[in-house]
Amino acid sequence: MSGYIARRLLQGVVAIVGALLIVFVAQRLSGDPVALMLPMDATEEDFAAMRQALGLDRPLPAQFVVFIANAVQGDFGDSYQWQAPAMALLLERLPATLELALAGLVFALLLAVPLGVISAVHRGGVVDRVAKIFAMLGQAVPGFWIGLLLILFIAVELQWLPAFGRGGLANLVLPAIALGWYPVAAMTRTLRSSMLDILDSDYVRMERAIGLPERWIVWRFALRNAFVPLVTMIGVYFANMLGGAFVIEVVFAWPGVGRAVVDAVFARDFPVVQAGVVLAAVVFVVVNLIVDLSYGFIDPRIRHG
C-alpha cells in the first residue's frame, strides 16, 4: 500500500509541474503585464525598471527555474494588482470555494442517488424516462447557462432568492444548483447502469429467494456495491468543482478562488494565476488519492484483492 501511495504522489508531482510549465509559458505569451500596471505616459525607462523589479527582464528558462524554486517553498510572489502574497490571497478565498463545491456536490447527490436507484428498480417506468431526459438535458446544457436562467427567473422575476454575492444559505442555493447540474446527469446514468447490473446478479437473486424485503435488498446491499463506480465520479467532480468553478463564481459574483484567478488572468497577474493552478492541481491530486484509498472501505473485495 505504501508503494502504491508513493507512486500516486510521484504522478501527482509530475502533473503539478507539467501544469505549472504550461501556465507559465501561456501566461507570458499573453502579453506584458507591465503595460497594464503603468500609466499611459510612462517612459521606456519606467517600463524597464518595472520589468527588472518583477524579474521579467530575465530569460524565460531563468524565470521558470526561479519560479519553481520559490514554488517548492510555497512562495509564488506578490500579486501585481493587490500587492500581497499570491497564495495568501487565494487561501483567504478558499473557504468560499469549498463551501460552494460542497453545496454543489450535495445537491448532485441528493438528486442523482434516488433518481438512479428508482430508475433502475422501475426500469422503463415513468421515473426512468424522466431520469433519462433529465440526464440528457443536464449534459447538454452548460452550467453557466443554467445559472443565468436561475438568475433571470428565480432571482429577478420571482425574487425568491438573491442572485449575487456570498452570505447566508439563500445566497448559496442558486450557484450550488448551477454548479451541480452537470454532475447530476452523469451520476444518475452511472448509478442506474451499475444498479441494473447488480440487481440482475446471482447474490441478489439469492437474497430474494430467502425472503429478504426488496427495499432492504435495494438500499442496503445493491446500492452499496453500485456505489463503487460512483465514488470515482464524486471525487473527480468534487475536484473539478474546486478547480473549475470559475465561470459559476463569475456569474454569481461569488468571492472564491476561481473568480480571483479569472480576474488575475485578465490583468496578467502571473503570481496569482500560477498560485491558483498549483492550488487546483494539489487539490485534484489529493482528492483522487483519497478516492482510490476509499475503495477498500466500500467494497471488501477490493481491500482483499
How much is the pLDDT for 296?
54
Cα(104)–Cα(245) distance, integer angstroms: 10
Residues with Cβ < 8 Å from 120, sequence gap 6 or more? Answer: 128, 191, 192, 195, 196, 199
Report the chain's mean pLDDT, rounded to a whole number.
Answer: 78
At 190-209, the pLDDT tens digits run 888 888 888 777 777 777 77
Quickly tell me which residue has 449575487 as its cell: 164
Percent of the chain's residues with pLDDT above 90 = 0
Residue that wins the pLDDT comparison between 1 and 145: 145
The residue type at 128: D
C-alpha cell at 6: 508513493
Question: What's the start-to-end Cα distance of the chain, in Å?
Answer: 12
The highest-confidence range among 16-20, 257-261, 279-283, by mean pLDDT, is: 257-261
How much is the pLDDT for 305?
47
pLDDT at 131 over 60: yes
Radius of gyration (Cα) for the chain, nearest Å? 24
Q: Mean pLDDT across the stretch 133-138?
A: 73
Measured in degrees and rounded to the nearest 5, phi and psi for residue 2 equal -65, -40
Residue that wins the pLDDT comparison between 265 and 28: 265
Residue that wins the pLDDT comparison between 60 and 118: 118
Which DSSP state fits 78? B
Measured in degrees and rounded to the nearest 5, phi and psi for residue 85 equal -55, 130
Count CA within 13 A, CB hemisphere, residue 242: 24
How much is the pLDDT for 19?
77
Q: Which residue in 118, 121, 81, 39 sits closest to 273, CA to CA?
A: 81
Q: Mean pLDDT across the stretch 221-228?
A: 75
Residue that wins the pLDDT comparison between 39 and 266: 266
At 90-126, the pLDDT tens digits run 888 888 888 888 998 899 888 888 888 888 877 777 8
Which of 30-39, 75-84, 162-171, 264-273 is the least confident region? 30-39
Beta bridge partners of 280: none
How much is the pLDDT for 304?
45
Measured in degrees and rounded to the nearest 5, phi and psi for residue 78 equal -95, 145
Sketch out the chain's domains with CATH numbers: 2-72 (no CATH), 92-304 (1.10.3720.10)
